[in-house]
């Protein structure tokens, strides 16, 4: 059932090349997070999402210090070692200080077009609007220059429909996972999400529809295993996601930037592109990287845990990610207050072995109780 | 380091400032980032407090480790900026030279130095359950545009409304204009002092500047700040006229990029002094002096001018502009090389620095070095390694003409 998704991520370059050749669209690499991919598609591009990779850092060492996160380091590594040759242009957002500087570094290092969309941080709708009006115009022009095609209203509407549909199918998958714990293996679930980073929207949508049909009759296994929620920026490394299956715990929901925080975004409103971008960036689940005083991450996470009937939270911490790290102590305190067990796993996308995480996950699940031993 | 008479005055000024901040029972206290538009806060009579400045003081007086350890014990990762950790620590144990900062009634944070301060201030806002106002001064990927100035000015208007609600009185625009005038006077004097670095030998090094920087950070907008920098200027310009150098027998003149290493001020003074190497210009000290002149940006009033000065901060620059600016400093100050501090705490300053170093060397023909350190955390500082790198660098420089 999951084979096409695993196939897509087994050789990512081959997947991208095949679809690029089929579609004749230039491949545009998108760095984390929340850039409306719809704009790229509407401009005739083929967006692929770069959330980091499990590669050893060698070339990138020259420009990114060891205290930079492995998301940034691994993406740079791919370009520097020549593994990102398919990517014709990059798109950045202003998610964090590292990415803001990385965008500048790319402009100095590479000849490819480096585009960016900075997010306004003000709470005031008017200010946001004024800022985004300029920013939207620039990014659209930039994309058009890369693809040589205009972003028409019709193309944007069509793209919004396609990407909106994909996200709503993904939400369906999330619902199944929540309602039938254990029915979908954690590794499989994340393989499906990860395939979506690289497959074009038409193909991915088809595969998702097909998968959901097949999953319709699938039932949750009998018995109750520990139910967990994962929270962090990226759900990679994928091999580590398999550990939950092996330990015998059910991940029932998540709070990943590369997962639900993106999947939760509604269909892009297109009548007013500026308003559309604002809705896209600030709508959906809260994120540690998006300042939003009206969206409290604490209440949100507690509610999410209760709604999913989860027993505990695993913080999936990619080392050196400050936005994630700042929020955690207070979040942990709140969870403690609510009587919700939580643990923190530190990782690095380039880690050679995920085995050290296994013992931690096992110990946490034992603490929660309900493991079949 | 030059023994300046003004030093005693500054000590008094800062002591008084911290005493007043801690005892101002009738006035609301605001915590601000170093690049926040404090003029609005002064205009409304609230007491501005700067956790960054306090964190630096804690490190300079060798008290930051204990405070960071307190924050780390409370769960804050060593991966986050050491200023924030020092601040969280002082708040937990009421530590540091002033015995902790007074609790805030509200917070004002500006993104011109980093995005990290948003996270830091969110933590404080949650802890104290106080409002946080963010002034967004976007990163200048493509220079300064009139649109960005308008965007910041619009936020200034909102800031006025915010302060009215915090202080429960109408905003005083006239007072603001007066405070802006005082602030500009002080930053103007600060810039004039730093510009005296063109003198050979340099009378006031970057290490001197780091020591005398506290008032421009915390008190700009007050008459006391203007008086203090006038005093300092008079003294330093006297030294410049008499050709008295801060480093005896000056041989090398270098640029310092990134924050100071606050816990190494004395050892660095000795280290560089012994090698006849003067730190002449520093992007960090310059950040309070108004930097690039942006052609094409015409400001119509004080608000717009203020918006420009808060956008116009070195670490808010794109790399092309950073390189241009650094090259200009090297040229104008007659520098023989440059030192870049790759600061584990400060990603906006440090990420990409190795590339800047390559390009700047190529462009200016001057040698440069990157040292790995941290502005506030001595635990990640390797003396032997840093000194060895600096020695190799100093040996590679041609002495000043
Ligand atoms: S993981 Fe964190 S630090 Fe790294 S790019 Fe993402 S948000 Fe930035
Ligand atoms: S040291 Fe750097 S990261 Fe820390 S508050 Fe200052 S500018 Fe931000």
Model confidence over A190-216: pLDDT tens digits?
Answer: 999 999 999 999 999 999 999 999 999
Across the range B77-89, mean pLDDT stands at 98
Contact between B374 and B381 under an 8 Å Cβ cutoff? The reply is: yes
To test the contact with chain B by mutation, choose from A91, A101, A132, A293 the residue with the greatest count of B C-beta atoms within 10 A, namely A101
Instruction: Decide if A122 and B342 are in contact by the 8 Å CB cutoff.
Output: no
pLDDT band at B1 (very low <50, low <70, confident <90, very high): low
Q: Based on the number of CB atoms within 10 Å of its own CB, is B57 exposed (0-12), middle (13-18) or buried (19 or more)?
A: buried
Instruction: Decide if B347 and A98 are in contact by the 8 Å CB cutoff.
Output: yes
- Which is higher by pLDDT, B26 or B387? B387
* Contact residues, A window 88-107, toward B, CB-based 8 Å cutoff: 94, 96-98, 100-105, 107
How much distance in Å is there from the Cα of B392 to the middle of ligand 2?
29
pTM above 0.95, yes or no: yes
Q: Is the pLDDT of residue A373 over 60?
A: no
Across the range B63-80, mean pLDDT stands at 98
Q: Which residue lies with its CA nearest to atom 3 of ligand 2?
A: B346
User: How many CB atoms lie under 10 A from the CB of residue B384?
Assistant: 7
User: How many CB atoms lie under 10 A from the CB of residue B249?
Assistant: 8
Q: Is the pLDDT of residue B176 over 80?
A: yes
Model confidence over A304-348: pLDDT tens digits?
Answer: 999 999 999 999 999 999 999 999 999 999 999 999 999 999 999
Beta bridge partners of residue A373, listed in sequence order: none
pLDDT at B300: 78
CB-CB neighbors (< 8 A) of B350 in chain A: 65
Across the range A114-135, mean pLDDT stands at 92
Question: Cα torsion at B38, B43, B45, B48 (round to 10°)?
Answer: 10
Model confidence over B325-349: pLDDT tens digits?
Answer: 999 999 999 999 999 999 999 999 9
On average, the pLDDT of chain B sits at: 95
DSSP β-ladder status, A250-256 and A227-232:
parallel
To test the contact with chain B by mutation, choose from A282, A301, A326 the residue with the greatest count of B C-beta atoms within 10 A, namely A326
d(CA A211, CA B389): 58
pLDDT at A193: 98
Instruction: Decide if B118 and A68 are in contact by the 8 Å CB cutoff.
Output: no
Query: Which DSSP string do the residues of A266-294 spell out, in sequence order?
Result: PPPP-SSHHHHHHHHHHSSS--TTS--TT
pLDDT at A212: 98
pLDDT at B110: 97
Using the Cβ of A134 and the Cβ atoms of chain B, whether some distance falls under 8 Å is answered with yes
For chain B, what percent of residues have pLDDT higher than 70?
Answer: 97
On average, the pLDDT of chain A sits at: 96
Q: Which residue lies with its CA nearest to atom 7 of ligand 1?
A: A96
Instruction: Decide if B123 and A330 are in contact by the 8 Å CB cutoff.
Output: yes
Q: Is the pLDDT of residue B304 over 80?
A: yes
* Contact residues, B window 368-397, toward A, CB-based 8 Å cutoff: 372
To the nearest whole Å, the CA of B357 is away from the closest chain A CA by 10
Q: Which of A194, A140, A153, A138 is nearest to A170 (CA)?
A: A194
Q: Which of B154, B158, B351 has its CB closest to that of A101?
A: B351
To the nearest whole Å, the CA of A343 is away from the closest chain B CA by 12
pLDDT at B2: 64
Across the range B238-249, mean pLDDT stands at 95
pLDDT band at A369 (very low <50, low <70, confident <90, very high): confident
To the nearest whole Å, the CA of A329 is away from the closest chain B CA by 5
pLDDT at A140: 96
* Domains of chain B (ranges, CATH numbers): 21-172 (3.40.50.11890)
Answer yes or no: is the C-beta of B113 below 6 A from any ligand 2 atom: yes
């Amino acid at each position: 059932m999951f084979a096409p998704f695993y196939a897509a991520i087994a050789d990512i370059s081959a997947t991208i090349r095949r679809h690029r050749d089929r579609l004749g669209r230039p491949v545009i690499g998108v760095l984390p997070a929340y850039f409306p991919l719809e704009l790229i598609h509407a401009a005739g591009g083929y967006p692929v999402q770069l959330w980091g990779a499990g590669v050893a850092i060698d070339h990138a060492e020259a420009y990114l210090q060891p205290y930079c996160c492995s998301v940034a380091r691994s993406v740079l590594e791919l370009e520097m070692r020549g593994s990102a040759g398919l990517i014709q242009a990059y798109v950045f957002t202003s998610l964090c200080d590292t990415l803001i500087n990385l965008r500048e570094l790319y402009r100095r290092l590479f000849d490819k077009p480096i585009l960016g969309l900075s997010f306004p941080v003000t709470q005031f709708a008017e200010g946001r609007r004024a800022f985004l009006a300029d920013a939207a115009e620039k990014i659209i022009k930039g994309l058009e220059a890369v693809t040589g095609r205009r972003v028409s209203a019709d193309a944007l509407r069509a793209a919004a429909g396609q990407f909106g549909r994909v996200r709503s199918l993904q939400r369906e998958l999330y619902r199944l996972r929540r309602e039938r714990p254990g029915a979908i293996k954690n590794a499989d679930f994340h393989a499906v999400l990860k395939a979506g980073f690289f497959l074009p929207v038409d193909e991915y949508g088809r595969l998702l529809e097909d998968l959901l049909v097949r999953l319709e009759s699938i039932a949750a296994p009998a018995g109750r295993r520990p139910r967990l929620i994962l929270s962090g920026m990226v759900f990679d490394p994928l091999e580590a996601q398999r550990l939950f299956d092996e330990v015998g715990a059910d991940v029932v929901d998540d709070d990943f930037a590369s997962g639900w925080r993106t999947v939760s975004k509604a269909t892009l409103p297109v009548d007013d592109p500026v308003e559309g971008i604002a809705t896209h960036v600030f709508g959906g689940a809260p994120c540690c990287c998006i300042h939003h005083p009206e969206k409290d991450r604490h209440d949100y996470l507690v509610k999410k845990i209760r709604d999913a009937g989860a027993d505990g939270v695993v913080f999936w911490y990619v080392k050196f990610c400050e936005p994630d790290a700042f929020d955690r102590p207070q979040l942990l305190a709140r969870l403690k207050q609510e009587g919700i067990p939580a643990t923190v796993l530190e990782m690095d996308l380039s880690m050679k072995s995920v085995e050290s995480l296994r013992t931690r996950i096992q110990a946490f699940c034992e603490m929660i109780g309900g493991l079949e031993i | 380091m030059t023994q300046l008479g003004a030093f005693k005055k500054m000590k008094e000024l800062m002591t008084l400032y911290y005493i007043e901040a801690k005892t101002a029972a009738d006035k609301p206290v605001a915590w601000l980032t170093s690049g926040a538009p404090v003029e609005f806060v002064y205009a409304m009579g609230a007491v501005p407090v700067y956790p960054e400045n306090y964190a630096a003081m804690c490190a300079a007086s060798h008290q930051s480790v204990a405070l960071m350890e307190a924050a780390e014990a409370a769960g804050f990762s060593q991966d986050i900026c050491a200023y924030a950790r020092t601040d969280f620590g002082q708040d937990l144990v009421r530590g540091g030279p002033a015995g902790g900062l007074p609790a805030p009634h509200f917070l004002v944070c500006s993104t011109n130095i980093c995005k990290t301060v948003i996270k830091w201030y969110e933590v404080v806002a949650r802890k104290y359950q106080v409002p946080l106002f963010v002034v967004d001064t976007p990163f200048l990927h493509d220079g300064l545009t009139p649109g960005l100035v308008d965007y910041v000015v619009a936020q200034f208007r909102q800031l006025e409304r915010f302060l009215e609600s915090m202080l429960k009185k109408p905003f005083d625009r006239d007072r603001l204009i007066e405070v802006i005038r005082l602030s500009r006077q002080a930053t103007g004097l600060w810039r004039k002092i730093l510009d005296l670095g063109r003198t050979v030998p340099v009378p006031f090094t970057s290490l001197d500047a780091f020591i005398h920087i506290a008032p421009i950070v915390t008190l700009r907008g007050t008459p006391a700040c203007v008086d203090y920098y006038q005093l300092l200027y008079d003294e330093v310009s006297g030294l410049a006229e008499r050709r008295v150098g801060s480093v005896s027998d000056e041989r090398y003149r270098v640029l310092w990029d990134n924050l100071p290493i606050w816990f190494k001020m004395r050892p660095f003074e000795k280290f560089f002094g012994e090698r006849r190497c003067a730190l002449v210009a520093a992007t960090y000290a310059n950040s309070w002096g108004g930097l690039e002149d942006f052609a094409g940006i015409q400001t119509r009033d004080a608000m717009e001018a203020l918006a420009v000065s808060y956008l116009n901060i070195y670490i808010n620059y794109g790399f092309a502009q950073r390189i241009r600016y650094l090259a200009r400093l090297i040229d104008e100050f007659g520098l023989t090389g440059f030192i870049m501090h790759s600061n584990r705490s400060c990603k906006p300053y440090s990420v990409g620095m190795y590339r800047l170093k390559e390009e700047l060397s190529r462009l200016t023909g001057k040698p440069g070095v990157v040292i790995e350190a941290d502005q506030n955390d001595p635990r990640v500082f390797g003396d032997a390694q840093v000194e060895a790198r600096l020695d190799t660098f100093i040996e590679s420089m041609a002495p000043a003409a």
